[in-house]
Amino acid sequence: MGKLRLRQIPDQLKVIELIIQKRGPESGPLTQGSAYARARAEARRARATSPPPRDSRAHRRSLLPRSPAPRPRPSLEGLPEARTDAAMSELVPEPRPKPAVPMKPVSINSNLLGYIGIDTIIEQMRKKTMKTGFDFNIMVVGQSGLGKSTLVNTLFKSQVSRKASSWNREEKIPKTVEIKAIGHVIEEGGVKMKLTVIDTPGFGDQINNENCWEPIEKYINEQYEKFLKEEVNIARKKRIPDTRVHCCLYFISPTGHSLRPLDLEFMKHLSKVVNIIPVIAKADTMTLEEKSEFKQRVRKELEVNGIEFYPQKEFDEDLEDKTENDKIRESMPFAVVGSDKEYQVNGKRVLGRKTPWGIIEVENLNHCEFALLRDFVIRTHLQDLKEVTHNIHYETYRAKRLNDNGGLPPGEGLLGTVLPPVPATPCPTAE
Amino acid sequence: MQQDKEYVGFAALPNQLHRKSVKKGFDFTLMVAGESGLGKSTLINSLFLTNLYEDRQLPEASARLTRTLTIERRGVEIEEGGIKVKLTVVDTPGFGDSVDCSDCWLPVVRFIEEQFEQYLRDESGLNRKNIQDSRVHCCLYFISPFGRGLRPLDVAFLRAVHEKVNIIPVIGKADALMPKETQALKQKIRDQLKEEEINIYQFPDCDSDEDEDFKRQDAEMKESIPFAVIGSCEVVRDGGTRPVRGRRYSWGTVEVENPHHCDFLNLRRMLVQTHLQDLKEVTHDLLYEGYRASCLQSLARPGARDRTSRSKLSRQSATEIPLPMLPLAETEKLIREKDEELRRMQEMLEKMQAQMQQSQTQGEQSDTL
C-alpha cells in the first residue's frame, strides 16, 4: 500500500549539499527545492566539478551576524566559504550579500583521468544520517471533531495520535487551548524518524475564541527560543535537539461557503512564524464541483488577505521550483479524508469509510486528495519543510531577538538586566 | 326513517371545520438556526420543494469578521391539494460566525419575544378579527456533524430559547457520518440535552387505540431524534434506476428520501404531515401562555416590578423591557392619557382643598389671637 519513503531524505540532504558546493555563493539564490529527480540530475553534473566535501558539522559554526533585513535569505549555514575572506562581505548589510572575491570553482574538464570516488559522498552521508536519524515535528490545529488525530495516524500509518473519541467520556473540551506534544520513533528501511505530533485541543471550541491562537504562537516561539539558547551556548551539544515546529496542518471545516473568520485570524497571525499547510477536513461531504469551488474561494480569500501558506511563493528560487510548487499551490488546500479502518474493495483491503451509499477509499485519488497530501508532506517536501523552518522562520526569530537584545545573543547583556520576553509576532490587522 | 331519528348530524362537524380552515389557510413560522455551512438553506428548499434562497449573497470571511447576527424572514405560499400554507422561514445568518460569539443569541431571543409581544397586544386589542400570527412555531436547530456532540455555543443558544420556542434538533450534512458514528453522535446529543436540562419539543405519544404498526413507526421516529438529515434539490439519475433527489459522489449517490441513508423522510413526516398543527398548539397553549403570564404579572404589580423582573423574568434576556413600557395601541393610549389627566386633576383638587383648609385654620387662629 505504499511506504513513507523516509529513505529518500538522506539523499535529498546530500544532493543539496553538492549543489551548493558546485554553484558557490555568488550565483545568488540557492536551490532550496527538493524535487528528487531534478536534484539527482544536478548531482550527476556536480560530481564532475565539485570541490572536496566538507564536514557537515560546519552547519553550526557560523557566528557572523546576519543582515537585519526582515526576511533575510542568507546562504545555507553549512557553507564552507564562511571561513574565507569572501564571507566577510556578509557584514555589509545588504539584502543579498555578495562576496568580494568570486568563489566560483574553476570548471574542470569533465573528462577525468580516472575514477576518484567523490560520488561515494552520497553513500557516506546517507549512512551517517541513517545512524543519527532525524526529527520531524508536526502540529495539528483545528476545531474538535475535524479528524485531526485520525489524519495524522493515517499519514504516518501508526497510532501516533490518541483520538479524542477514545478518551474518557467525562473529559470535556478544555477551556483554554492546550498544547500536547507526543513523540514517537518510527522506522522504515533502516531510517529512523523521531516524529512529534503537537495537538492543540480547545482551539476554536469556545463561545469566545478571541486570541485563542496566542498559546500556539507562544509555544512555537518558545521552541525557537530553546534552539537559540542551545546555539549560543559556549559548550554546545553535538546535535541540538530540534523541537521547532516544522509544519502546521490547519484544518478547515468543510462548510462549502468560505473560510471562517477564526481561520483567517489564525493564519494571518501564524503564517509568518511557521509553515502552515491548510487542509479541508472531512471532505467526504462535498461533491467534486463543491470541492473545487470551495478551494478556489479559499485560495482567493487567502490571497486577498495576504496569507502565504507553504510552499510560499517568495521562497521559490528558480524556475523548476516555481513550476513544481505552482502546481501544488493550485491544488491546495487538499481535501482529505482520514480513516483507520480497513474494508474490502475489489479484493483488496483498503483504508476507508463505509457508508450505505458506497465506500470512500482514502488513498484513491478520485475520492479524496489524501495521497497528494501524504506525498507532498512526506515524500517530497519533508526536508524542505525543515529547511524553511530553520533558514527562514527561525532566522527571522533569531534576528528579532538579537535586535531586541542590542545585537548580542540572548543571555548576554548588561549585568543584572532582565532579558526581553519572548515576543509575539506582530501582525497587521485588517481594518 | 329510523336512521333519521337517531342521526343528529354533528358527526359532520369535523368536515365543517376542515372546510373552514382550508378556506382560511394555515400560516406557519419556522425558524432555522445554527452555524453557517450546515446545509440549513438546502434542507428548507428540500423540505418544501421551493427555492427560497435564490437571491442569497454569501459574504466572505473578512466581511463576516465584524458582522453581527441579523434576522431574515422569507415568506412563501405553498399550495397542495387545495390547501394553502403561508410559510415563513426565519433565518439567522451570522450566528456562530464571529471569533467572539458571546451573547450572539440575544437578538434571536429578542425576536421570538417580540412576536409574542405583538400577539399579546393584538389579543388585548379592540379589533381581534384578523390577528396575524407571526409567532415562531418551531425552531430547527442544526448541530454540526463534525463535532463531538453539542458545542458550548449550541448549549448556550438552546438554553436561551428552549422555554420560548419548540426546538427540534437536527444533525446537518449527515452524509459525513457512517451509520455507527451517527448512532453514537445521536446518543451523545441526547445525553447532553438531558444533562443540560434543555427541553426540546416532545412529540406527543400516539393514542393507545392506534394499531401496532403505527405505534412501532412512531417509536422508531422518536428514537431517531435528533434527526440526521441531508438536503438536496438536485435530481440525480442513479445508473438507470428512477431519478431521485440526492447528491452524487465518486463513490456512490446519497438519496435524500432513502430512510437508510438519512432521516429526511422522518423529519418531513413529523414536521409537515403529522405535527404541524400540534406545533402551533403547543406554541399557543404552552409557550405563549407562559410568556403572557409572566408579562401580565409584572404589569399587574408595577410597584413591585423590580422584584418580579428579577425573579420571574430572570430567565429571559436582560434586555427585555416589561410590557407597560411599550407603546400601546392608539385607543388604549388615549384611555391611559385620559386616566392620567383625571388623576392629575384629582391631585390638584386635593391640594387646593388642603390649602383652603390650612388657610381656614390659620384664619381661625388669627381670629382667636
pLDDT confidence of residue A425: 54
State the average pLDDT for chain B: 81
pLDDT confidence of residue A417: 44
pLDDT confidence of residue A299: 93
Q: Would you give the end-to-end CA distance of chain B in angstroms? A: 104
Strands (E), A230-357: 247-252, 276-280, 334-335, 342-345, 348-355
Q: Which residues of B touch A205 (CB under 8 A)?
A: 151-152
The reply to whether residue B37 touches residue A257, judged by beta carbons under 8 angstroms, is yes
Contact A13, A127 (CB under 8 A): no
Nearest C-alpha in B relative to A257:
B37
Mean pLDDT of A78-88: 39
Residue A69 confidence class, pLDDT cut points 50, 70, 90: very low
The H-or-E segment that residue A189 falls in is none
DSSP letter assigned to residue B77: E
The reply to whether residue A207 touches residue B152, judged by beta carbons under 8 angstroms, is yes
- Look at residue A149 and tell me if it is in a domain: yes
Cα separation, B18 vs B103, in Å, equals 44
Q: Is the pLDDT of residue A67 over 90?
A: no
Nearest C-alpha in A relative to B60:
A258
CB-nearest partner of B102 from A207, A284, A285: A207
> Which amino acid does the sequence have at B249?
Y
The reply to whether residue B144 touches residue A265, judged by beta carbons under 8 angstroms, is no
pLDDT confidence of residue A138: 94
Residue B79 confidence class, pLDDT cut points 50, 70, 90: confident
- Look at residue A215 and tell me if it is in a domain: yes
Residues in chain B: 369
Q: Which residues of A touch B258 (CB under 8 A)?
A: 356
Q: Which residues of A touch B65 (CB under 8 A)?
A: 261, 264-265, 430
The reply to whether residue B99 touches residue A259, judged by beta carbons under 8 angstroms, is no
Helix, strand and coil content of chain B, in percent to the nearest 5, comes to 50, 15, 35
pLDDT confidence of residue B195: 92
pLDDT confidence of residue B202: 85
Q: Which residues of A touch B37 (CB under 8 A)?
A: 253-257
CA angle, A414 as apex, A410 and A418 as ends, to 5°? 60
ipTM of the complex: 0.74
Mean pLDDT of A272-300: 93
CA distance A137 to chain B (A): 26
Mean pLDDT of A14-23: 57
pLDDT confidence of residue A146: 92
pLDDT confidence of residue B324: 46
Residue B87 confidence class, pLDDT cut points 50, 70, 90: confident
Q: Is the pLDDT of residue B83 over 60?
A: yes
pLDDT, tens only, A252-284: 999 988 899 999 999 999 999 999 999 999 999
Cα separation, B220 vs B210, in Å, equals 15
pLDDT confidence of residue B27: 85
Q: Is the pLDDT of residue B193 over 60?
A: yes
CA distance B220 to chain A (A): 19
Q: What is the CATH number of the domain that holds A132?
A: 3.40.50.300
The reply to whether residue A209 touches residue B249, judged by beta carbons under 8 angstroms, is no
Residue B155 confidence class, pLDDT cut points 50, 70, 90: very high
Bin B170: left if φ > 0, else alpha if -120 < ψ < 50, else beta: beta
CA distance B226 to chain A (A): 18
Mean pLDDT of A11-30: 53
Residue A11 confidence class, pLDDT cut points 50, 70, 90: low
pLDDT, tens only, B105-124: 999 999 999 998 888 888 88
The reply to whether residue A357 touches residue B249, judged by beta carbons under 8 angstroms, is yes
State the average pLDDT for chain A: 76
CB-nearest partner of A144 from B61, B147, B179: B147
Alpha helix segments (H runs only) across A251-318: 261-270, 288-304
- Look at residue A20 and tell me if it is in a domain: no
- Look at residue A55 and tell me if it is in a domain: no
Residue A96 confidence class, pLDDT cut points 50, 70, 90: low
> Which amino acid does the sequence have at B181?
E
pLDDT, tens only, B275-328: 888 888 888 888 888 888 888 888 776 654 444 444 444 444 444 444 444 444
Mean pLDDT of A124-137: 84
Q: Is the pLDDT of residue B228 over 70?
A: yes
Mean pLDDT of A32-44: 50
The reply to whether residue A145 touches residue B253, judged by beta carbons under 8 angstroms, is no
Cβ–Cβ pairs < 8 A, chains A and B: 126
Domain region containing A221: 118-161+173-338+365-404
Percent of chain B scoring above 70 in pLDDT: 84
pLDDT confidence of residue A421: 58
**Residue from A146, A177, A208, A250 to probe the interface with B (highest B Cβ count within 10 Å):** A208
Contact B95, B89 (CB under 8 A): no
Cα separation, B44 vs B271, in Å, equals 12
Q: Please count the structural domains in chain A.
A: 1
Nearest C-alpha in B relative to A359:
B251
The residue among B240 and A97 whose pLDDT is bigger is: B240
- Look at residue A259 and tell me if it is in a domain: yes
Supply the Cα-derived Rg of chain A in whole angstroms.
23
Mean pLDDT of A45-61: 45
pLDDT confidence of residue B300: 77
Mean pLDDT of B215-225: 82
pLDDT, tens only, A190-206: 888 889 999 999 898 88
pLDDT, tens only, B325-364: 444 455 666 776 788 788 888 888 988 988 888 888 877 6
- Look at residue A82 and tell me if it is in a domain: no
Sheet-wide strand order for B252-255: B235-237, B243-249, B252-255
What number of CA atoms fall less than 13 Å from residue A29's CA on the CB side?
14
Helix, strand and coil content of chain A, in percent to the nearest 5, comes to 40, 15, 50
Q: Which residues of B touch A257 (CB under 8 A)?
A: 36-37, 58
Contact A186, A193 (CB under 8 A): yes
Residue A16 confidence class, pLDDT cut points 50, 70, 90: low
Q: Which residues of B touch A171 (CB under 8 A)?
A: none
- Look at residue A208 and tell me if it is in a domain: yes
Mean pLDDT of B163-185: 92
The reply to whether residue B65 touches residue A261, judged by beta carbons under 8 angstroms, is yes
Residues in chain A: 431
pLDDT confidence of residue B108: 92
CA angle, A116 as apex, A110 and A122 as ends, to 5°? 95
pLDDT confidence of residue A27: 42
Q: Is the pLDDT of residue A428 over 60?
A: no
pLDDT, tens only, A345-400: 888 888 999 999 899 999 999 999 999 999 999 888 998 999 999 999 999 999 99
- Look at residue A383 and tell me if it is in a domain: yes
Helices and strands in chain A: count of H runs, count of E runs: 11, 9
Quote the pTM value.
Answer: 0.73
**Residue from B146, B155, B254, B260 to probe the interface with A (highest A Cβ count within 10 Å):** B146
pLDDT confidence of residue A47: 53
Question: What are the cell numbers at A6?
Answer: 523516509
Q: Is the pLDDT of residue A169 over 60?
A: no
Q: Is the pLDDT of residue A92 over 70?
A: no
The reply to whether residue B37 touches residue A205, judged by beta carbons under 8 angstroms, is no
Q: Is the pLDDT of residue B82 over 50?
A: yes
CA distance B54 to chain A (A): 15
Q: Is the pLDDT of residue B143 over 90?
A: yes
Cα separation, A405 vs A397, in Å, equals 12
Residue A414 confidence class, pLDDT cut points 50, 70, 90: very low
Closest by alpha carbon to B104, among B91, B113, B93, B116?
Answer: B93
Percent of chain A scoring above 90 in pLDDT: 32
